[in-house]
Amino acid sequence: MLQEAGASAVAVRRPAELEAVDGLVIPGGESTTMWKLAETFDMLEPLRLRIKEGMPAYGSCAGMIMLSDRIQDGIEGQQTIGGIDMVVRRNAFGRQVDSFESDLDFAGERVHAVFIRAPWVESVGADVEVLGRAEPGDRIVAVRQGPLLATSFHPELTGDTRVHRYFVSMVNSRGSSR
């Protein structure tokens, strides 16, 4: 999806690989596993540092959880990278069987969104822009704070590159973050 959106994409698993990129996508998956692996591979502090320095990052689903300053319904001791001034509730839309798809407005464009055991955003700070909401409940599911973007849904599963293009243009408009 990143390649289609005009970026050259590489996998980031180690601090040296993180050093080499201008922006980072933190995909869906499982946020407690991501946290534990990030600690095991000494990635948590380097990630926090790059985010603090202003590296653009986009987190979808578990990635949204990782970019959130505060979480609800995490496991004991669960940490995030943080960066976006918001509270995210894990598994808020329900269990795996409650996964669903819906059409919603993302930054003014109609997109088809896939939610898989997805979180929602409970609340945001003053500097966070709400880019999208979803039924049920008109919940916040897409946000941006400066160079940081997060969605509860998985645009990489629909073949529609607009959300990734939105992120790539955030990275390009910033140039190198260092």
Return the active site residues: 61, 154, 156
Query: How far lies 142's CA from each of 50, 87, 105, 107, in Å?
Result: 22, 13, 9, 9
Q: Does 67 bind ligand GLN (CB under 6 A)?
A: no
Q: How many angstroms separate the CA atoms of 85 and 127, rounded? A: 8
Q: Does 121 bind ligand GLN (CB under 6 A)?
A: no
- Cβ burial, residue 20 (10 Å; 0-12/13-18/19+): exposed
Q: What residues between 143 and 172 interact with ligand GLN by CB under 6 A?
A: none
Q: How many angstroms separate the CA atoms of 135 and 119, rounded? A: 13
Among 5, 15, 29, 100, binds ligand GLN (CB under 6 A): 29
Shortest reach from residue 82's CB to ligand GLN, in Å: 15
16 vs 97, beta carbon nearer ligand GLN: 97
Contact residues: ligand GLN, CB under 6 A: 28-31, 61-62, 65, 90-91, 116-117
